[in-house]
Amino acid sequence: EAGVAQSPRYKIIEKRQSVAFWCNPISGHATLYWYQQILGQGPKLLIQFQNNGVVDDSQLPKDRFSAERLKGVDSTLKIQPAKLEDSAVYLCASSHFREQYFGPGTRLTVT
């Protein structure tokens, strides 16, 4: 069974630029999550989808972050414009029932 796929793995941008991350969850997993992991901390939820509907986006900075999950499968997370404090690893996870399965993450550096 293929795992959660994410791309790109690494991205370096300048502040005020925009960036997009892509996630393909495990086949059949209805729930998809985006987490932000700042260096030295545990992951923090940004947004949770159930199929293509948003379940929880309470911690998503909506003035600059947006996410969508087209057709209830793939998802993209966008940051526009990026700030220095957005430098982090962005993890995508999916679940069918209990445990969440994570992708390898995208390491974003904002200079």
Partner 1 sequence: AQKITQTQPGMFVQEKEAVTLDCTYDTSDQSYGLFWYKQPSSGEMIFLIYQGSYDEQNATEGRYSLNFQKARKSANLVISASQLGDSAMYFCAMRERYGGSQGNLIFGKGTKLSVKP
Q: Does 31 bind partner 1 (CB under 8 A)?
A: yes
Radius of gyration (C-alpha) of the chain in whole angstroms: 13
DSSP string, 56-86: E-TTS-TTTEEEE-GGGS-EEEEESS--GGG
Part of the chain binding partner 1 (CB under 8 A), chosen from 12-20, 61-69, 73-81, 95-103? 95-103
Q: Which of residues 33-52 bind partner 1 (CB under 8 A)?
A: 33, 40-45, 48, 50
Q: Min. distance of Cβ 27 from partner 1 in angstroms?
A: 15
Tell me the C-alpha distance between 2 and 19, whole Å: 26
C-beta separation of 106 from 7 below 8 A: yes
Tell me the C-alpha distance between 80 and 62, whole Å: 10
Q: Does 22 bind partner 1 (CB under 8 A)?
A: no
Q: Which residue number, 33 or 65, has a Cβ lying nearer to partner 1?
A: 33
Of 74, 76, 102, 109, the one binding partner 1 by CB under 8 A: 102
Which positions touch partner 1 (CB under 8 A)? 30-31, 33, 40-45, 48, 50, 55-56, 89, 91, 93, 95-105, 107
